Structures are given as structure tokens and as C-alpha cells.
Amino acid sequence: MKLQTLKSIIEKKKNKSEFAIITNLKTGESEIFEKDRPLSKEMQIYSNQINEFFKSKKNGVIENSEIFVETYILPIKVIVIGAVHIAQYLVDYAKSLNFEISIIDPRGYFASEQRFPDIKIINKWPDEAFKEIDTNENSALIALTHDPKIDDPALQHALNKKFYYIGALGSKKTHENRCQRLKKAGFSDEQINLIHGPIGIKLGGRSAPEIALSIIAQLVSETYKK
Amino acid sequence: MKNSFDEKILEEANDWVTANQKVVLATVIQTWGSSPRQVGSRMIVNEKGDFSGSVSGGCVESAVVRECISLIKDNKPCKKIEFKVSNESAWEVGLACGGEIAVYLEQVS
């Protein structure tokens, strides 16, 4: 692979774009494939197969050829509500996974850049903050404030936008109350049951890093069920 | 869904090149049967044999490192190698899981 190609792959990953690397295994020549960007002449005959790999987000060698396709998908957007202690560990775990974390917290003293360097922090109430983030059924929500004023509007947004993962911190009792409030707000039992509450898989730990680990484990597991 | 959990190996390769090291990318391009790592898994190796990342669960890495070093020595751009249980050196580097993998080596140039 040419160093130039390597550098532009890294750049594209940084800019969060979707692309594929196409390698001719015979010659070692490789090029970058993107939607709406023409392939080189020698790769054009494989354009249907390449598109198929790209659409299904798979890696592999095109049948009866020496062409290898490696696809890069967009990182999953994870919105964390509450710039709390657990969130600091979540950010650490997410670094080694391909999650793009944004933190929403209207309380400025929590959501400081000093506590969360290199993370997108939106210092607004959820209703305002979500205007700045494009979310859809490939997004995930982790609500950590267990303050209804902050968590509830975010949970409602996530339910309306059909996030594939929605988790909310809090005891069973806190969660029961939360479900009642959502019911009153007009959400069905079916919708409310999609919320993972209390959040996380059962690890038994109680410390902030342990809770963060149980949340991230649940998030990864749900990501593979998509 | 594939490839969602990225390991930043290419980023590391770029750092190595910046530090004036010769780097070979080793990528799993095909698997048959049960194999420890999926297609697209990658490790990088420099001329000294330092490596990062993985192409199996530690079963064939030593052989991949050797192959990468000779690729650099012979100044070849690329090479495909396959690992099977029936491999001659199976006692040393075979895949205990009974799977087969093809690994593609390419120099960063």
C-alpha cells in the first residue's frame, strides 16, 4: 500500500466518512472507493461486486478474482446524558471501540472540557442539544443523571427516533417511576420496554469504572444484535 | 454488521513510517472453517520484527513476523500466505482450531 493511500484512509476515518479499500492482491495496488466516486479503469469491471460488499458492509475477496474489499463504516453515535463520574470511564472504554461519544449536560460545572478533553460536550438542555446532533435508528443513548428533568426529555427523543440502544441509570424503583412518567407522556408499554433499566449487564460491581464497564458491555452486545 | 470496532492499527502504521521504520501490513483476507479472527483483521510488522495487532489468536503471528521481515529484506511489494492445519510446520504455527486463513502481506511504500 502506498503511504499516500494509508494517510488518506486515516484522514477519512477521522472525518467519519464511509468508504472501502480495494486492493489488487496480484500487484499490491490499492485504491479508495466511495459512493459516487468513479473507480479506476482496471477496477471498473468489478464495480457491481464492490458495491455489494460496500452495501452489506462486508470484507472479503471478490469471487474468482484477486480483488480484496475492506469496508469502513461510520462510527456509532452514542449520546451520554450527564457528564458524571461514570461518563468519564465510559469515554475511556469507548476510545478502544468505534463509538463516537457526545455528552449532553446543561450543568456547566459537570460538563467541563477539563473533565472531558477531546469529547463533544453540549452544555444545553436535551431538547436544545439534540438540534445539534443528527440522530437515527443507528444511534444509542445512555442516560446517567437519574434526574427526570434532564433524562426524561432525552429518553423521549431517543424513543421517538427509534435509537437501537437506550439505557437509563437508576434503581429498579427509579426506573419504575420513570416508566410511569413516560406512560403518562403517551409512550406505549412496548416502547418503554425497549429501555434498558436499570442499565448495564449484571457484573456485581458498584464502582464507577465497573458500572461503566457493564454499560459498555451491554452496548456492544446490543450493537451486534442490530 | 462488520468492522465496527476499529483497532487503530493503520494509524499506528503511519506513526511507525513517520519514525523511519519499514512497515508491512498483514491482513486476514480469507477464512475457512473456524478461525480466530475475522476477515479484515490486521497486524503490522517492522524490519526488526516488532509487531502490533493480530491476525489470529497468537497461533500464526510468529510465522507472519518472519514472512514480513523477509518481504522487507527481499524488497518485495506483496505476498499471500495461507495457514492450514496440514501446514508442514503445523507443530509450530498451525491453527489449533482447525480453521484455515489467508493472510496478505504488503509493504507500505
Rama region for B63: left / alpha / beta (φ>0; ψ in -120 to 50; rest): alpha
**Total-model pTM:** 0.77
- Are residues A99 and A61 part of one domain? no
Task: Say yes or no: A193 and A100 in one domain.
Answer: yes
Nearest to B27 by CA among B53, B1, B4, B6: B53
A33 and A120 fall within a common domain? no
Pairwise CA distance, residues A18 & A41, whole Å = 22
| One domain, residues A89 and A173 | yes
- Give the best residue of B4, B14, B35, B38 to mutate against chain A (max A CB count within 10 A): B4
- Residue A80 CA, chain-centre distance (Å), reads 11
pLDDT tens-digit series, residues A158-198: 999 999 999 999 999 999 999 999 999 999 999 999 999 99
* CATH code of A187's domain: 3.40.50.720
A31 CB burial (10 A radius; 0-12, 13-18, 19+):
middle
Distance CA A75, CA A88 (A): 19
Residue B1 has pLDDT above 50, yes or no: no
Number of domains in chain A: 2
Over range A6-30, report the average pLDDT. Answer: 92
A58 and A87, same domain (yes or no): no
CA distance A197 to A177: 11
Which segments of A41-171 does DSSP mark as H helices, in order? 47-56, 85-95, 126-129, 148-160
State the pLDDT at residue A26.
95
Q: Which of B73, B100, B75, B79 is nearest to B25 (CA)?
A: B79
What is the 3-state composition of chain B as percent helix, strand, coil, each rounded to the nearest 5? 25, 30, 45
Are both A105 and A212 inside the same structural domain? Answer: yes
The runs of H, that is alpha helices, within chain A are 3-14, 47-56, 85-95, 126-129, 148-160, 172-184, 189-192, 208-225
Q: Which of A2, A7, A58 sits opposite B109 (nearest CB)?
A: A2
Same domain assignment for residues A56 and A109 = no
Least confident of A10-24, A112-126, B93-107: B93-107
In the listed set A72, A103, A125, which residue is the last one of a domain according to the structure?
A: A72
Q: In terms of domains, do A17 and A92 share one?
A: no
Contacts of A60 in chain B (CB under 8 A): 29-30, 39
What does the pLDDT read at residue B2? 43
Residues A31 and A97 in one domain: no
Position A52 scores a pLDDT of 92
User: Of A48, A72, A96, which residue is a domain's last?
Assistant: A72
Is pLDDT above 70 for B78? yes
Domain range enclosing A43:
3-72
Buried b (16+ CB within 10 A) or exposed e, A145-173: bbeeebbbbbbbbbbeeebbbbbbbbeee
ipTM: 0.86
Structural domain boundaries in chain B: 9-107
User: Does residue A50 have a pLDDT over 90?
Assistant: yes
Whether residue A203 sits in one domain with residue A98: yes
Residues A55-79 pLDDT 10s: 888 899 999 999 999 998 888 899 9
A89 and A8 inside one domain: no
- With beta carbons under 8 A apart, name residues in chain A contacting B30: 60-61
Whether residue A200 contacts residue A211, with contact meaning beta carbons closer than 8 Å, is answered with: yes
Q: How many CB atoms lie within 10 A of CB A202?
A: 8
Say if residue A65 is in the same domain as residue A112.
no
